[in-house]
Structure 1
């Protein structure tokens, strides 16, 4: 059994922890670029009757 599985983690959690540790250990000039790659943007579109339903603001 792998170490991350014995620690009670799934692979996604394990890889996220490892990536964060790696980003924090980089030199300052490389760290800022790596931290930008860490950001993610998610857009959620609700669907109704098989078509995207646009919510009115």
Structure 2
């Protein structure tokens, strides 16, 4: 089992945390450029029997 799964995270949450930490570690001139990529939105939709049930949450 991977460490992020053992910590109770899904892959999306794990990759968002890792990307945020990497951007904070960059030099100031590169950090400003990378911070523009920090804004992204993902929607999770629950599917049952091949049909979307509802839009669950927006991250």
Q: Shorter-chain TM-score: what band?
A: 0.5 to 0.7
Q: Which runs of 5+ in 1 are unaligned?
A: 42-57
- Higher RCO, Cα 8 Å, sep 6+: 2
Larger Rg: 1
| Structure 1 stretches of at least 4 aligned residues deviating more than 2 Å after TM superposition | none
Count of residue pairs brought into register by the alignment = 41
Give TM-score, length-normalised by structure 1.
Answer: 0.67
TM-score, scaled to structure 2: 0.65
Residue 28 of structure 2: aligned partner: 28
Instruction: Please tell me the root mean square deviation across aligned C-alpha atoms, in Å.
Output: 1.3
Larger strand proportion of the pair: 2
